[in-house]
Amino acid sequence: MGFAMKKQSEDPRLEGLMQSAHSLFWKYGFRKVSIEEICREAGVSKMTFYKHFKNKLAIAKAVFDRAVTRGLCDFRAILEEESSVSVKMKKLLQMKLEGVHDISREFLNDFYGNPELGLKAHIDQKTKEVWLEMLEDWKKAQQKGIFRPDLNLAFYFYVAQKQAELLHDPYVQSLFPDSESLVMELTRLNVYGIVPREEV
């Protein structure tokens, strides 16, 4: 599965649809957002929408896939930089923070926790594919000393996937003021564990 970044579109209307859908889904989840709202936000007609997407589920999958692809490209770029491990970790955390900005509980519940909406199965599959593709990147980073040499990568990936189940757990959500805080705490836990560190 290739993750080479493609030009999103030569049609600026498609880019507008993708951007507005991303913003609305991240803020309000899948169920509360209508095709009409996506079109209104993008300043395009429903005819334009249906020229590019079969339905709301199709654009939700496309938006999620693009976010994952961009995140993977940014992740690889950071790993390849000539910088210290500490700087790389800070940049990875900053990248994650930017990716989950304005993310809502509705988004987490709709995209990760509700199999009836048709998104969860897609996200689970996409996540497995991405982890498999990232494995070689992680092995190279481990050889360079970016990650500890005794880290069992297969176990780490498995645990990280299991942690996704916590994103839509009502009790876990109640421990944080918003979903962004929850996602970032899980990320910091994965990166730093419980050892005190310099604040980032």
Q: Is residue 103 part of a domain?
A: yes
| pLDDT confidence tier of residue 93, bands split at 50, 70 and 90 | confident
List pLDDT tens digits, range 117-159: 889 899 989 988 888 888 888 898 889 888 889 999 889 888 8
State how many domains the chain has: 1
Q: Is residue 172 part of a domain?
A: yes
Report residue 153 as tokens.
């990568």
Q: Is residue 108 part of a domain?
A: yes
Domain interval for residue 75: 12-192
Q: Is residue 61 part of a domain?
A: yes
C-alpha 159/C-alpha 162 separation (Å) is 5
Supply the mean pLDDT for the chain.
87
CATH number, domain containing residue 54: 1.10.357.10
C-alpha 82/C-alpha 87 separation (Å) is 10
List pLDDT tens digits, range 97-124: 888 877 899 998 999 888 888 898 999 8
Q: Is residue 2 part of a domain?
A: no
List pLDDT tens digits, range 45-62: 999 999 999 999 999 999
Q: Is residue 198 part of a domain?
A: no
